[in-house]
Amino acid sequence: MMVDRLAALAQPHRLAVFRLLVVAGPDGRLAGDIATDLGLPASSLSFHLAHLRRAGLVRAEARGRERRYAADFAAMRGLVDFLTENCCSGAGCAPASVAA
């Protein structure tokens, strides 16, 4: 599950898509706009968006024939929390403001 989220972000195009959606904020972006911004063929973008969606990192909302994708910040936070708790413990690896 966390492995799926990691795998979803462990691919350059998908990481770029996700970062773009983070910048876009809660309203997200339309699939077509994402494709244009990143210069990805529609079918490739669709493949990667589906991957991110399966991993729970993005949500999709259909409006007419368009589809609006947005980052799921709670899921992302869940991932960061997982990494902090399971991959940082006992060794001062947590962010400075937490460790302090």
In the complex, the residues that contact DNA under the rule CB under 7 A are: 7, 11, 13-14, 30-33, 35, 40-51, 60, 64-67
Per-residue CA distances from 63 to 15, 23, 72, 88, 99 (Å): 25, 21, 18, 41, 44
Q: What is the CA radius of gyration of the chain?
A: 15
Q: How far is the CB of 89 from a second copy (least distance, A)?
A: 6
The binding site for a second copy (CB under 8 A) comprises 2-3, 6-7, 9-12, 15, 18-19, 22-23, 25-26, 71, 73-74, 76-77, 79-81, 83-84, 86-95, 97-98
